[in-house]
A and B are shown apart, each in its own frame.
Chain A
Amino acid sequence: MAFSDTGGHDLRIVTRLPKSPTGIEGFDQITTGGLPTGRPTLVCGSAGCGKTLFAMSFLVNGATKFDEPGVFMSFEESNDELAQNVASLGYDLPALIEKKKIVLDHVRVERSEIEETGDYDLEGLFVRLGFAIDSIGARRVVLDTIESLFSGLSNQSILRAELRRLFRWLKDKGVTAVITGERGEGSLTLQGLEEYVSDAVILLDHRVVEQVSTRRLRIVKYRGSSHGTNEYPFLIDEDGMAVLPVTSMGLAHGASTERASTGVARLDTMLGGQGYFRGSTILVSGTAGAGKSSLGAHFVDAACRRGERSLVFLFEESPQQVVRNMRSLGLDLQPWIDRGLLEYHASRPALHGLEMHLSLMYRAIERVRPTIVVLDPVSSLLSVAATGDVRATLTRLIDHLKTQGITALMTSLSHGKTELERTDAEISSIVDTWLLLVTLESSGERNRGLYVLKSRGMGHSNQIREFLLTDHGIELVDVYVGTGGVLTGSARLTQEAKERAAETAQQQEIDRKERTLARLRTALEAELASLRAKFEAEQADLATGIEEERARIARLRDDQQSIAESRQADTDNNGSERRNQRHVDKRRSRKR
C-alpha cells in the first residue's frame, strides 16, 4: 500500500528492519541494533560454546533493561539447574520469575516413557508456549535446545513439519525468538534447523589452539541487515557475556601535539625536550634486564604525579613484584595504587588466547578510562600466537587507544643481537616512538645503553646514552665514543679519570708557565729598579760635579774681577768677559 501511494519509486518509505537489542556488550554494535524483532534467530555451536548463556543474556537483559518479558523453554536443563548456572553471571532468575518478567518451562522428553501409536502433532508444545507467553505478555522467547525433541520422538516427518509450523507460529506471534541448535558435521545444526530459521543465524565457536581456548562468534546470516562478517571473540565472565568488536578502526584518529613527560628528565631532553606525544605509542625494546619495565614504571609514576590515571597490563610479573622491584629504584608506586590512580592487570599470556587478551584489555580500558596504558611485555604474547597475529592484535589495540587519545607504552623483549630487531620489527612500524635499550659489553662488563631509534614528529637526539638504574631512579649519562667504540661503565669511569688526569696535567703546565712569566716579570722589574738606582746615583754625582764646576767658574770670575778692580782697569765688562771666557776654554782644553 505504501508503495502504490508513492508511485513505487520512493523506497525510503520502507522502514528499516526493526531490531531488538540483546544488551550483550558489543553484540548490538556488530549487528547494528540486535536481533531482528519479531523473528526467530538461530544460535548454533558445539557443546559448551555458550549458546544457553547467549540466549539467557538475551532474555534477562530484555526483561531487566528493555522491559520485554521473556519465556525460556528449556529442553535440556531443569529450571533449578538453569537458575543455578546463570547465577554465576549475576542473573537472579527466581526474582525475575517472581516479578513475572520471565517464565521458565522445562520440557522433558524421555523416550523410554513414551510409546508412540498413530498420528499426533505437537500442539501441546504450542499450547504450553502460548500459555507461557500470554501469562506475562512476553516479547521474547528462547527455545533451548529444541533439537532434543529429535531424540525423544521417533517420527521425524511429524517433527519436521511441526518445527516448521512452530517457527511460523512464533513469527505470527510477533515474538523475537532465539532458537539454539547443536553444531552438526558439515552443517550448522545436527538436524538442519537452519533450513527453517532463515532470518538470522549466529555461530558460536569454542576453539583451542595450542592449548589456549578462545570463544568466537560469527554472524553467518542476517537477512535484511548489514552486519560485521568477522569472527568476533567473546567472553563469559562474572559480568555476563560480552562480544568484542575489535576490528581496526581505521586511521581517523586525531594527533595531539601535547606532550607527556617520560618521567626521566634526560630522556625528555632527548625527545625534543618534552617527552612523548600524547596519544602516541611507544615501544621500548631491549634484552633481558635492560630496564624496560623500569622505564615504563617511570612513565607511569610521572603520570600519577600529574594526577592522571594509568593502567598497566603485566604478562610476566605480579603487581606486588613490580611494586617491590620499583622500590629499589626509589619509586614507590603503592600510594598511586591506593589512591586509585594506578591499576595493574596481571595475567599469564597462556591464560587466554590473543583475542581474549585483547578483549579483556578493551574491557579494562573501558572501565578504568586511563590516559596511559603500559603493556609489559608484549613479546610474551608471542608465546600464545604467531607473530603476524600478535602484530594484528596490537594494531587493533593501538588503533583503539589512539582513537581515545591514550598514550601507550609497550615493552618488548629481544633475545640477542641477531634477533634484536626480529620481533620488534614486526610491530615497530605501528609505533610512533621506538626506544632501544641495549647492553654494551666491554672490558668484562655489561652496561646499559639507550637510543632513540625513531620518534615520529619530533626532533630527537641521535646519541646513545648510558642508562643507569640507581636507587633514586633512572639516570642517563653521556657515553664516550672513541676509536675503541662506545665506552660505558668502568671503562667510562677510567676514561673520565684519564681525562681528568690530562686536564690536571694541562692545568699544571699552565700554572708553571704562569709562574715563569711572573718570575721573569719580577726579575725584569728588579733589574729596572737597580738600573734606576744606579742612574739616580750617577745622576746625583754628576749634578754635584756640575755644581762644583759652576761654583769654581764663578769663583774664578770673582777673582779676576777683584784683580781687575785692584788694577783699576777701565775695560768694559763685556770685553774682558769674552777674553776671560776664552782663557777658561784654553785652560780646559789644555787640561784634557
Chain B
Amino acid sequence: MEMTEIGPGAASAAPVEVEQILRLYIAGQTPRSVKAFANLKRICEEHLKGRYRIEVIDLIQNPQLAAGDQILAVPTLVRLLPEPVRKIIGDLSNTDRVLVGLDVRPAS
C-alpha cells in the first residue's frame, strides 16, 4: 500500500500522467492464460492503479486479430499506449521484467 502511495507522488514529478492501454492476447482459458491475466492484474494494481486499461483478446474466438498486432506467442501483452508499442510475452511471472517492458520503472 505504501508503494502505491509513493507511486503517484513520484509520478507527479512528470508533467503529464499517461494512461496505459494494455491488451492481453490469450488462446483459450488455459492455466497459462489464467496465470498471465492474474499476474498482469496484480502488477497493474500495484504499480499503475487507476492509470491503466486492460483488454483481453482470446484468439481462439477471434483468430483474425492475431495478425494485426503481430502475435506469435501466447500469452502476449501489448502496450498500445503510450507509444512506442511494447510487447511482453510469457505468463508475466517476472514482475520486474514486466515493469521494465512497460517502462514503468527504469531497469535496475
Residues of A that sit less than 8 Å from B by CB: 105, 107-109, 113-128, 130-131, 149, 153
Contacts and interface: CB of A to CB of B under 8 A. Distances in A.
Nearest to A115: B101
Given A120-B89, A124-B25, A127-B59, A115 B98 contact: yes
B80 interface: no
Given A105-B67, A124-B27, A131-B63, A116 B72 contact: no
A149 B32 CA distance: 21
Contacts of B70: 107-109
B71 interface: yes
B74 to A, nearest CB: 5
Interface in B32-68: 32, 36, 39, 59-60, 63-64, 66-67
B66 A131 contact: yes
A115 B74 contact: no
A115 B88 contact: yes
B63 to A, nearest CB: 4
B32 A128 contact: no
A452 B16 CA distance: 98
Contacts of B60: 127
Contacts of B76: 120, 124
B89 A115 contact: yes
Contacts of B75: 120
A136 B74 CA distance: 25
A126 B27 CA distance: 10
A105 B90 CA distance: 23
5 contacts: A114-B87, A117-B101, A122-B72, A126-B27, A128-B66
Nearest to A114: B87
A118 B71 contact: no
Contacts of A128: 63, 66-67, 71-72
B63 A127 contact: yes
B11 interface: no
Contacts, number: 97
How many chain B residues sit at the interface, stated as a range, is 20 to 34
Nearest to B28: A123
Contacts of B74: 120-124, 127
A119 B27 contact: no
A153 B73 contact: yes
A197 to B, nearest CB: 19
Given A124-B73, A130-B63, A119 B25 contact: no
A131 B65 CA distance: 10
A120 B86 contact: no
Contacts of A114: 87-89
A108 B85 CA distance: 14
B94 interface: yes
Contacts of B64: 131
A105 B93 CA distance: 31
B32 A120 contact: yes
Nearest to B97: A117
Nearest to B87: A114
A124 B92 contact: no
Contact of A121 (B73, B97, B98): B73
A79 to B, nearest CB: 11
Most central of A116, A117, A120 by chain B CB within 10 Å: A117
Given A117-B92, A119-B90, A120-B89, 6 more contacts: A115-B98, A116-B88, A117-B98, A117-B101, A119-B91, A127-B71
A124 B94 contact: no
B100 interface: yes
B93 to A, nearest CB: 4
Contacts of A130: 63
Contacts of B72: 107, 109, 122, 124-125, 128, 149, 153
B86 A115 contact: yes
Contacts of A107: 70, 72
